[in-house]
Amino acid sequence: MASSDVQQYLITSMISLCCDVVDIWEAIRKREGIMLLISFLGLSSEEHQEYVVWLLAILTEQIDDNKWAITVVGGIPPLVHLLETGSDKAREDAAYVLWNLCCHSEDIYACVESAEAIPAFLWFLKTSGTKGQEASGKALRKLIRKADAATIN
User: Per-domain residue ranges for the chain?
Assistant: 3-152
CATH class of 3-152: mainly alpha
Q: Report the alpha-carbon distance of residue 59 to residue 24 in Å, rounded.
A: 7
Mean pLDDT value of segment 48-74:
86
Helix axes 31-40, 3-20, angle to 10 degrees: 130
The closest alpha carbon to 49, from 23, 82, 16, 20, belongs to 82
pLDDT in the model for residue 33:
77
27 touches 21 (CB < 8 A): yes
60 touches 67 (CB < 8 A): yes
Overall pTM > 0.85: no
Mean pLDDT value of segment 100-117:
84
58 touches 24 (CB < 8 A): yes
pLDDT band at 131 (very low <50, low <70, confident <90, very high): confident
Mean pLDDT value of segment 25-37:
68
pLDDT in the model for residue 28:
59
